[in-house]
């Protein structure tokens, strides 16, 4: 189970904390703990615009790419689209300020990923097992290989009714990997190049991406594992935020609506403790280099 570490931060810049507090937060984050900011709300004007009839059919979130300015999975009239886009842009800026303020060592390698808003209620939503976020999993993206980089995410619960966002967290990453990785066949020769040429993936899928994707799928598809693995529950109240390496912390979102999330990618070399990363753990278990 994952430890929740409370961080007394009231502004979207981690630099307001003492150097010792920032060091403690970094150690906790890289030790696969969840940083919880109980006094750090994200304010959204006209939340009703983000809630009502904004999702395209079959989508579970609104997605914004700060590099291109593109808004996806939304069916919106022009004025509403601009309001939604503005809220997502501002969240991206705020989350980036938070990460860089807390962890200046990440600055040189930080890559900004997608920003999203999830208006729909999680509980009761129909989904395939692969897309079912109520099942414990570690994050891996089929079309976006990370090639060994870390997946760091910042979340904020902005539910206007004050409803919490309920999570479960499972066992340590290495324990999960030891259960599933021995039965995962290696990445077949030529597959990575073929996927990239067919534009199924945005860049080359490494052996690391292969193992992480299979690990994600096998965790979610194993009903016995989901029912028996030890897990702890935690509710993030409305008006709070949290940060976690979702490629390492086994997690499931069980209940809640109206949450923002920002994805970042961090090179393993930028970490204070690279040996604690999923890449290094999987390399130890497989006795192979996985991201070269």
pLDDT tens, residue by residue, 35-81: 999 999 998 876 666 665 566 555 677 889 999 988 876 666 667 77
Best CA proximity match to 106, nearest among 289, 266, 273, 235: 266
Give me the pLDDT at residue 127, please.
Answer: 82
d(CA 69, CA 257): 24
CB atoms within 10 A of CB 127: 12
> Higher-confidence residue: 102 or 63?
102
d(CA 52, CA 76): 10
Q: What burial class does residue 245 get, using C-beta atoms within 10 Å of its C-beta: 0-12 exposed, 13-18 middle, 19+ buried?
A: buried
Give me the pLDDT at residue 62, please.
Answer: 83
What residues does each domain of the chain span? Answer: 4-286
Give me the pLDDT at residue 124, please.
Answer: 85
pTM: 0.94
Average pLDDT (171-182) is: 97
Give me the pLDDT at residue 150, please.
Answer: 98
> Higher-confidence residue: 199 or 276?
276
Q: Which fold has domain 4-286?
A: Jelly Rolls (2.60.120)
- Confidence band (pLDDT; 50, 70, 90) for 274? very high
Taking only the tens place, the pLDDT of each residue in 5-24 is: 999 999 999 888 999 999 99
**Please, what is the average pLDDT of the chain?**
92
Structure tokens at 14: 């981690």
Best CA proximity match to 118, nearest among 73, 65, 67: 73
Give me the pLDDT at residue 185, please.
Answer: 95
Give me the pLDDT at residue 265, please.
Answer: 98
Average pLDDT (81-108) is: 93
Give me the pLDDT at residue 72, please.
Answer: 79
> Higher-confidence residue: 14 or 271?
271
Which residue carries 């703990």 as its tokens? 33
Average pLDDT (245-270) is: 97
Taking only the tens place, the pLDDT of each residue in 178-188 is: 999 999 999 99
Average pLDDT (235-264) is: 97
- Confidence band (pLDDT; 50, 70, 90) for 85? confident
Average pLDDT (154-166) is: 96
Which residue carries 């799928």 as its tokens? 217
């Amino acid at each position: 189970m994952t430890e929740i570490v409370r961080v007394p931060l009231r502004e979207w810049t981690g630099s307001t904390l003492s150097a010792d507090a920032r060091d403690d937060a970094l150690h906790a984050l890289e030790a696969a703990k969840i940083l919880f900011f109980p006094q750090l709300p994200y304010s959204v004007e006209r939340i009703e615009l983000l809630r009502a009839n904004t999702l395209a059919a079959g989508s579970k979130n609104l997605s914004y790419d700060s590099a291109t300015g593109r808004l996806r999975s939304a069916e919106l009239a022009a004025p509403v689209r601009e309001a939604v886009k503005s809220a997502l842009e501002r969240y991206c800026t705020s989350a980036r300020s938070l990460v860089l303020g807390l962890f200046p060592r990440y600055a040189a390698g930080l890559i900004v990923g997608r920003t999203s808003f999830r208006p729909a209620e999680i509980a009761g939503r129909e989904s395939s097992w692969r897309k079912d976020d109520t099942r414990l999993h570690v994050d891996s993206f089929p079309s976006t290989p990370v090639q060994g980089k870390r997946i760091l995410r910042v979340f904020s619960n902005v539910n206007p009714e004050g409803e919490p966002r309920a999570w479960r967290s499972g066992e340590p990453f290495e324990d999960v990997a030891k259960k599933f990785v021995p039965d995962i066949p290696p990445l077949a020769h030529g597959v990575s190049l073929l996927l990239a040429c067919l534009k199924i993936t945005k860049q080359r899928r490494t052996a690391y991406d292969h193992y992480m994707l299979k690990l994600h799928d096998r965790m979610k598809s194993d009903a016995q594992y989901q029912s028996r693995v030890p897990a702890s529950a935690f509710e993030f109240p409305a008006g709070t935020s949290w940060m976690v390496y979702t490629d390492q912390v086994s997690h499931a979102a069980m209940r809640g609506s109206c949450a923002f999330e920002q994805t970042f990618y961090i090179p393993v070399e930028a970490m204070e403790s690279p040996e604690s990363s999923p890449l290094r753990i999987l390399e130890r278990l497989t006795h192979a280099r996985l991201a070269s």
